[in-house]
Amino acid sequence: MRRLIALVVTLATLILIAPPPAQAAPPVFSNQDVGLGGPDQIPDPAGKPIRIEVSWWGVQDRPELAYDWSRYDPAIERAHAAGMKILLLVTYSPPWASGGHGASDGLDHWFPLPEWDDEWGAFMTALTRRYAGKVYAYEIWNEPNHATFGNYGDGSDLARRTRYWEVVRLSNARIKAECAGCTVLAGGSAAGTRPANQPAVPDTVPNPNSPAAWLTWAYANGFGGTFDAVAHHPYPIWHQRQGPAQSDCARPDRVLFGPRYVPGSAPCGQLAALRKVLVDNGHPDKKIWGTEWGYPTASGLGANHPSLELIRDFDVEGVHMWRELDYAGPLFLYQFRDSAACTDANQDPECHYGIVYRDGTPKEPRYSELVNKVANYMPASLATGQSIRKLSAMRSPNGRFYLWMQADGNLVLYDSSNGRALWSVLNTGGRRLLNQPDGNLVLYRNPDAPVAVWDTKTWTAGPSTLHLQNDGNLVLYRNATGKPIWASNTVVR
């Protein structure tokens, strides 16, 4: 009997000291990840990134109340069940922890006061524990360098920066204590503003609240080790009809996207400026995540607002440029659907960032072209009425040959086995190759007022289909007869 008891005790001891079961490896995020929407909005959501907000205020409205996760659990559960990679955006203090700010309109967001640091820390611990195994990336605050979302103390630049980075340091410590492999994002992600009680920044001097200025300050003041990646919102200057390639080397604080970083050269936009700060401070491995990005499709500009054709070009160009940046992380669209709180007639641009309208109708050609670009979809054929636009391509079924509508406006057929150009239409400023119902294949320039710059002169053929064949030949076939009516004559033997 004593031997049996000893055996039981030994087994119990082994059970107690057994290592915990292995957890699933955190998902890998990269610059190829582009988040467009939730699991019920986008095709094939598995493996796609999604950004979900959780507000401290929304979880704990009063200090004596227990945490209430009910408004956030469903979205996180759905995304996790669909196999999506979740970035959790952790936001705003309840008024009881921020000196009563935001209680009246919910817009005057302040960082938590230091006397509530323990409560903020406890919230971060509870948050990380609750979504353990489902969430591996956390973004600390939304646009903290924008005074509406991140205010503190006397509202000075110094007070706001200092308090934000203190909150980041506290958050990072609590998250890493629960999930050492989780990624913590931080940074002044917006264009940056001052509150009304502070002097306006003259337009002749750089913005002291730009993303790069906030990141520079963080490194200079000992906060460089409190985060793993930088959160940034590379919105184009839409009201000036500018896209992601806009450049301002004299004032990079004015451009949130812009050209890539070139070592030894002055940055010409905030993306490059942020990269320079990371490199200069010995952290070249830290990625810059585009946690919001997009383009409104309506505003008070009325007819002067960029067309859907032009916005489509900017969207696709943005994805194309982003994926070429080896120092970038994922890119997240803001937002999939127009705001349900607005009417279609509302001219507030915040109402119209969706790629579908409020009723779910796609905004074409923006919607389909962006979805295809994100999926790297390249058709092998163009039916009547179909087209390829700037920075999109056709691909032969065997994957060897590509017909690219390039950023420079050139239409070029390439053999990917050797990089050789087989056929081209050059120096026309083209942006859309359209297979017209009359059978003519036409290259157009100018998205808002199309002008034909090249065609196959087959306008009497009727409906036809363009095929990029496995032999490298680009052939237009008449549907009625199945016979070719035009070809690039680029057969590769």
How far apart CA 105 and CA 108 sit, in angstroms, is 7
Per-residue pLDDT at 176 exceeds 90:
yes
Average pLDDT, stretch 416-440? 97
466-489 b/e (C-beta count within 10 Å ≥ 16 → b): bbbbeebbbbbbbeeeeeebbbbe
CB-side neighbour CA atoms (13 Å) of 457: 0
The answer to whether 414 touches 393, Cβ cutoff 8 Å, is no
CB count, 10 Å around CB of 168? Answer: 21
Please tell me the distance from the alpha carbon of residue 438 to that of residue 433, in angstroms, as a whole number.
Answer: 14
What pLDDT was estimated at residue 24? 66
CATH code matching the domain that covers 381-487, chosen among 1.10.645.10, 3.40.50.800, 2.90.10.10, 3.40.30.10: 2.90.10.10
What dotted CATH number matches 26-374?
3.20.20.80
Q: Are 393 and 470 in contact (CB under 8 A)?
A: no
Please give the Cα distance from 134 to 392 (Å, whole number): 34
- Split at pLDDT 50, 70, 90, the class of 171 is very high
pLDDT at residue 102 in the model: 87
Cα distance between residue 89 and residue 289, in whole Å: 12
Amino acid at 198: Q
pLDDT at 111 over 90: yes
Mean per-residue pLDDT, 242-261? 97
Query: What mean pLDDT is predicted for residues 248-267?
Result: 97
Domain positions in the chain are 26-374, 381-487
Task: Give the model's pLDDT for residue 446.
Answer: 87
Phi first, then psi: what are they for 204, rounded to 5°?
-85, -5
Q: What is the pLDDT of residue 105?
A: 77
- Asked whether residue 21 carries a pLDDT value surpassing 60, the answer given is no
430 three-state secondary structure: strand
pLDDT at 299: 95
Six token digits for residue 184: 């913590």
The CB density around residue 421, as the number of other CB atoms within 10 Å, is 13
- C-alpha distances (whole Å) from 4 to each of 8, 13, 15, 253 are 6, 14, 17, 75
* Closest alpha carbon to 472 in 420, 409, 430, 405: 420
The continuous run of DSSP H or E covering 80 comes out as helix 73-81
Q: What is the mean pLDDT of residues 307-311?
A: 95
Confidence (pLDDT) at 15: 37
**pLDDT band per the 50, 70, 90 thresholds, residue 23:** low
Q: Give the tens place of pLDDT for each residue, 47-71.
A: 999 999 999 999 999 999 999 999 9
Give residue 135's pLDDT band: very low, low, confident or very high (50, 70, 90): very high
- pLDDT, tens digit, 9 for 90 and up, residues 72-109: 999 999 999 999 999 999 999 999 999 999 887 778 89
What residues contact residue 70 under an 8 Å CB cut-off, 6+ apart?
none
